[in-house]
Every structure is written in structure tokens, then in C-alpha cells.
Amino acid sequence: MSRIILMKYVGWVLLLTGIQPSLMGQEVIQAVTIADSKYHSQHYAEAGMFYVRVFEQEKYENPLFYIKAAQCYALDQNLDSAFYCLHKGGKAGFRDLDYLHQNEDFEALKEHRKWKKVLKLVEDNRTAYHDPEKAKVITSDIQRFWKCFDKIDERNSRDIFEKEYLNPGSLGLKEFFRTRVLSLQGFLFKVKSRKTYFSDIREATKSIKKIDPEIKRSFQRLHKLYPEAVFPDIYLVIGSMTARSTPTSVGLLVGVELYSKTDSTSTEELNAREKAISRTVDKLPALIAHDLVHYQQSYEEAPTLLAACIREGVAEFISVLITGQNAHDELYQYGKAHEKEIWDTFYREMYGKSYQKWLFNESTVEDKPVNLGFWIGYKICESYYAKAPDKQKAIQEMLHIRDFQAFFDQSGYGHWAMNSQAE
């Protein structure tokens, strides 16, 4: 399908569905939600059109939308349009090879002669991100937020934030809103109901630019340890306390409102989860390094708690290696003091599929640090690395685990813990 025919069909679909030809801010995000909904309800042709429209007409230039459109057309058996969108996504910078290899929606395309050309284009994009010096740290959204924050009590504050924060914002900010904030109205409610907290962190967020050299040093250290590493752009934005960081196809998105606490910051307005995950600015390089490692990982699907903890443990271990610090002091202190107790519980549960006690449990744990699975995974990786004669090869192996049980066995950590319990 040619681009002209494709865009004519976009207009036809939008006319039938009542969506107007020009959307802004929150409405653009809602258009993506409509596309997602049509994909899940198997209206693939319409979904594809919405994804293309958002990129081409609304200037929400995330190459993933072209790739999602290609998925829809592949499922609709419209192979010409599928390859057209894959090519456009590749030209727009899409670089996630694993997404293409592992996504079953593309099965109808994988034997086609054009498939290898698509893979080559995406691989070239990935290679272009091997240079740590080219990665950008983007902080422009922070300044825009505070200009709007000064008008937050005005009656038209929603329009102000949409027109002066979201609409002119970076691609990273738009993607953060789409994936983590979801609603501009909810965003404003969160900020207004935590106005003292936001006021208290204002100066700290303004100083974040000063940690750029530290972030870049960690990038260079990772490049030395793992020359094949890719280095995404880092978008430092202000969100609504929903997420600290999100690795995406456009870059690493970080909500710095959760990394700007100081000794004088009032946390009375925060809920238990927000108190548990908020950190000081000096921990930001370790968080960014942790998620930078996630960009390098390529694993076979494994649903066990053991695999999930090792995945996070690899990110923790390598981030500590390249920054010299961790982002969770209380977690490491507790882990060191209760190692045998933690191991005893983990050993009985590690082959299960429930993560609730161990990972991403900020809302449910009260009597101990959250995310103990990060720490147990870190210890497994620490043991594996200590035993490895070739340290650089060990890093390569950590990032490309094919058998989590074998990795765990080779680490020797479980044997150490069991032996210490038997003594």
C-alpha cells in the first residue's frame, strides 16, 4: 500500500470513528489508547491506521508506533503495508531487535525476503547507539514543569499544563505520560495534593543537571566492561509519583520527583508506597545505571521467581560495578544483617511464579525493605562474578543467560548458603 493510499485510509477511518484530524496533548495519548484497544479487539486494519496517524499527523515521533502498525498489518495479512511500516519505523530509529525476533505477530513476515533487510536496518540503528559519548541527558522538561507549577492554583491549570508542559515537551515526556501517568487530570490531582512536597523538591530538581558528568562516567565504564553496550538517551522529567524510571524504545524515562528528596523535604502528603521509593538526588546515577543494564539484557523467557530475581540482580550488580554505589542503602544493610533468614525463605519459593514477597512490592511490604529480590539476585551475581576467571566474559554471560538454573548453580551462592545453614 503506498503512503498516499495509506494516509487516505487513515482519514477515512478517523472520519468514521469521529476522531478529529488535529489532536493535542492528552487527546494524542487517548488516540494511542484507542489504537491499543482496536489491536486487542482484533480490528487490526483500524488499529494500524491509528498508530500511523499518531506518528505522522500528530508528531508523536516514537518509532514504536510504526512497528505496532506493522504488527497490525501483518496480522491482517496486509504484508505490503506491514513492510512499509517496518521500513518507516527503522528509518525513524527503531533499534529493538529482540522485539522483532520474539513477537509472534510478525510470523507471517519472517520468511519473506524483505525481513532480513528490516533486521539489518534495525541492527544498524542499534550499532549507532554503541558510543556512550552520543547519549544525551535531556532535562528541558523540568524547567517547563516549574513554570506551570507556579500557576497550578489558577482555574485553567489543566489547559496551562497541557499547552505549556505536555504539548511542547520532549518525546520522552510524552511517552512517560502515555505509559506511566496516563491522565493529565490525574497528574494534576497528584501534584496539587502533594504541593508541599513538590515545593520542597524544587531546588533539588534544578541541580540535577550537575550529575551529568557522573552519569556519563558510568556509561564509559559500562562501555569498557561490555563494548557491545547500547546507550539510550536519558529523559529526566517530572511525573506524578507513579514511577521512578521506565526503559522504552525512545530512551530511558526517569521521574525525578521521586529522586529529589532532601533532609528538609516534607513527606507528610505522601502515601506509604511513595515514601518507600523516594530517594535523594545522589542516588540517581545508580538508578540510571541499573536501567541502562536492562537495555543490554537478552534472555530466554523464564517465568520463575529465580529468573526474575537474577534479571534484577544482574542490573543491580553491574550498576554497582560501574557507579560504585547502590540506590537502596536500607535494602543492602538489611540483606547483610539477615542473609541466612532471607536465603531460607527464598530457597523454598524460588521455583514458584509469585513475585509479591520479593519484587515490585512497594505497596504491600511494611516490616522490611521492599524488593528483597533485587538483593538476593545481586548476591547470586556477585558470587558468579567472584568465581569467574575471565571477568569481562562473566559480564557477557550475565547479560545473555539462557539457563537461569545453570547460572544459579554455577554461581555457587546457593551451595554457600546451604552449607552455612548446615554448620
The domains of the chain, with CATH numbers, are 3-128 (1.25.40), 133-292 (no CATH), 297-422 (no CATH)
**pLDDT tops 70 at residue 328:** yes
Per-residue confidence band for 6, with pLDDT thresholds at 50, 70 and 90: very low
Using CB atoms within 10 A of its CB, is residue 348 exposed (0-12), middle (13-18) or buried (19+)? exposed
Mean pLDDT score across all residues of the chain: 90
Q: Which residues pair with 236 in a beta bridge?
A: 254
Q: What is the pLDDT of residues 221-239, one digit of tens each?
A: 999 999 999 999 999 999 9
**pLDDT tops 60 at residue 14:** no
**pLDDT tops 50 at residue 2:** no
Q: What is the pLDDT of residues 134-177, one digit of tens each?
A: 999 999 999 999 999 999 999 999 999 999 999 899 999 999 99
- Give the burial string for 51-67 (b: 16+ CB within 10 Å, else e): bbbbbbbbebebbbbbb
Cα(318)–Cα(322) distance, integer angstroms: 6
Cα(46)–Cα(27) distance, integer angstroms: 18
Per-residue confidence band for 107, with pLDDT thresholds at 50, 70 and 90: very high
Q: How many residues does the chain have?
A: 423
In what helix (H) or strand (E) does residue 377 lie, and over which residues does it extend?
helix 372-387
State the Cα torsion 219-223-225-228 to the nearest 10°: 130
**Which cell is 388 given?**
569467574
pLDDT of residue 58: 63
Q: What is the pLDDT of residues 75-84, one digit of tens each?
A: 999 999 999 9
**pLDDT tops 70 at residue 71:** yes
pLDDT of residue 232: 93
